[in-house]
């Protein structure tokens, strides 16, 4: 017999039965599992009644904020009418309407929408489609992918292969062959030889170098073997690397020169995170495909999508050609209905403009933390920022593995949460704190984040 949940110790039950994602499970053998039970606006509450500012929008997801009853109502209404039907050779109204709406938002000729249930699946879809596209157009040797160092693109085998984080990939190797890495756009860690006589790095020159290094990777592999380049508008892993001026325009030229597809992985950056529906809009470039997920529904129901140009779709719409790929829950009626209601909120409340109006205030508030000895860099765009932590601001010396374990994981992650801020302390690359609050956040939110960070980082420095 299953016990009444109200009478059970949820923490003990979680440890016994809930295998949490990306979690060192042994940490909870003798410690309580944090259990979140409620959300409202920019805050969440745990099962002990403690309140936390959601500084990561769940996981870069809850754009419109917690507790939006209209999104729950949209889900319930659709479930009563049509709870499920696949889009395998059939359509249903909400998937059709959502596909049209996404196509209208997307730049250029990105008019075809292939639904999945999450971001990793969307990336997987893009790579498979790129491979088959080149087979159908008489270039079967083009299958490889170039992506960037430290970049995260998902956990399915293909998406994980594209990911540039060796530690995440090692347990699952061998992975899918044909993926190769080029430098990312972390100007804070730019190679010394790019610095001028005064020791500074020119952003435009750095952007040209980063893009040209992707071309070097294409040429080293042979352009006739490379299908696509996968890049995020602002790279997540490593701590929010924005593109230098002119970077994407040069990258577009390189891809065109070598007949390589440019895939904009916008699983995090789409739907207002940067103040535009798509990051490609923010930085003025035209991709061949966009992968997206997270913020499309503000997390109220899972969905993902790969948005594809008419040019790439054309050979699949001829004769008996078929893209033999799909997901049971892709384009789910309930998720599609929630996404449409969420996008209504975006338009009605002007969430994108709200981010554009306030991004400089958010950055300015976080910049105040630069007076702390542990803060090396503050970077990002829109409502998406990373704070890099260092041992020495002058030399930019980072922490060693033991210090990361002791300071970042042993102290700082817990201290931030205990002080009332849910965010991410991450060492995929150099140690950083990442912040991406709901898009409804305002100056009061920024101030609260800064105050909690100041207290926690000051305490962390004392433990070094």
Q: Which residue has the tokens 């790279």?
A: 235
The pLDDT, as a whole number, for residue 407 is 85
- E strand segments, 69-203: 110-116, 144-148, 179-182
Q: Residue 1 has what pLDDT? A: 41
- Which of 223, 339, 228 is closest to 292 using CA atoms? 339
What is the number of alpha carbons within 13 Å of residue 89 lying toward its C-beta?
2
Distance CA(316)–CA(66), nearest Å, equals: 40
Digit-by-digit pLDDT tens for the chain (464 residues) are 454 555 568 888 999 999 999 888 998 988 899 999 999 999 999 999 999 999 999 999 999 999 999 999 999 999 999 999 999 999 999 999 999 999 999 999 999 999 999 999 999 999 999 999 999 999 999 999 999 999 999 999 999 999 999 999 999 999 999 999 999 999 999 999 999 999 899 999 999 999 999 999 999 999 999 999 999 999 999 999 999 999 999 999 999 999 999 999 999 999 999 999 999 999 999 999 999 999 999 999 999 999 999 999 999 999 999 999 999 999 999 999 999 999 999 999 999 999 999 999 999 999 999 999 999 999 999 999 999 999 999 999 999 988 888 888 889 999 999 999 999 988 888 899 999 999 999 999 999 999 999 999 999 999 88
Residue recorded with tokens 């990002």: 380
User: What are the DSSP E strand ranges found in 238-349?
Assistant: 261-265, 289-292, 304-309
Three-state DSSP state, 427: coil
Calpha distance 255→181 (Å, rounded) = 15
The verdict on pTM exceeding 0.85 is yes
Helix (H) or strand (E) holding 212: helix 203-221
Angle, CA 227 vertex, CA 261 and CA 114 arms, to 5°: 60
């Amino acid at each position: 017999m299953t016990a009444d949940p109200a009478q059970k110790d949820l923490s003990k039950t979680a440890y016994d039965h809930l295998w949490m994602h990306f979690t060192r499970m042994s940490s909870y053998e003798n410690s309580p599992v944090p259990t979140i039970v409620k959300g409202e606006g920019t805050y969440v509450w745990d099962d002990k009644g403690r309140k936390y500012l959601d500084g990561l929008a769940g996981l870069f997801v809850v754009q419109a904020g917690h507790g939006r009853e209209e999104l729950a109502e949209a889900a319930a209404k659709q479930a009563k009418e049509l709870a499920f039907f696949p889009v395998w050779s059939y359509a249903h109204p909400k998937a059709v309407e959502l596909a049209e709406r996404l196509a209208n938002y997307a730049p250029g000729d990105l008019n075809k929408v292939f639904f999945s249930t999450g971001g990793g699946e969307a990336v997987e879809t893009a790579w498979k489609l790129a491979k088959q596209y080149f087979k159908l157009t008489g270039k079967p040797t083009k299958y490889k992918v170039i992506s960037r160092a430290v970049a995260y693109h998902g956990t399915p085998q293909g998406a994980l292969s594209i990911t540039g984080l060796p530690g995440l990939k090692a347990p699952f190797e061998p992975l899918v062959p044909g993926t190769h890495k080029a430098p990312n756009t972390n100007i804070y860690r730019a190679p010394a030889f790019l610095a001028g006589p005064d020791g500074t790095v020119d952003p435009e020159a750095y952007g040209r170098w980063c893009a040209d290094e992707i071309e070097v990777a294409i040429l080293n592999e042979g352009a006739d073997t490379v299908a696509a380049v996968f890049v995020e508008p602002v790279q997540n892993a490593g701590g929010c690397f924005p593109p230098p001026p002119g970077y994407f325009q040069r990258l577009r030229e390189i891809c065109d020169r070598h007949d390589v597809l440019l895939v904009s992985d916008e699983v995090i950056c789409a739907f207002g995170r940067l103040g535009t529906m798509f990051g490609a809009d923010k930085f003025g470039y035209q991709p061949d495909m966009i992968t997206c997920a997270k913020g499309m529904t503000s997390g109220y129901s899972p969905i993902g999508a790969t948005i594809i140009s008419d040019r790439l779709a054309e050979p699949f719409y001829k004769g008996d050609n078929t893209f033999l790929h799909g997901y049971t829950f892709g384009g789910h009626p309930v998720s599609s209905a929630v996404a449409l209601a969420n996008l209504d909120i975006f338009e009605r409340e002007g969430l994108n403009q709200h981010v554009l109006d306030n991004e400089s205030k958010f950055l300015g508030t976080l910049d105040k933390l630069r007076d702390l000895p542990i803060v090396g860099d503050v970077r990002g765009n829109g409502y998406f920022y990373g704070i890099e932590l260092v041992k020495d601001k002058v030399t930019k010396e980072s922490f060693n593995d033991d210090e990361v374990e002791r300071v970042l994981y042993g102290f700082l992650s817990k201290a931030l949460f205990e002080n009332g801020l849910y965010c991410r302390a991450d060492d995929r690359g150099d140690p950083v704190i990442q912040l991406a609050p709901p898009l409804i956040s305002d100056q009061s939110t920024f101030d609260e984040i800064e105050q909690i960070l100041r207290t926690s980082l000051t305490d962390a420095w004392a433990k070094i």
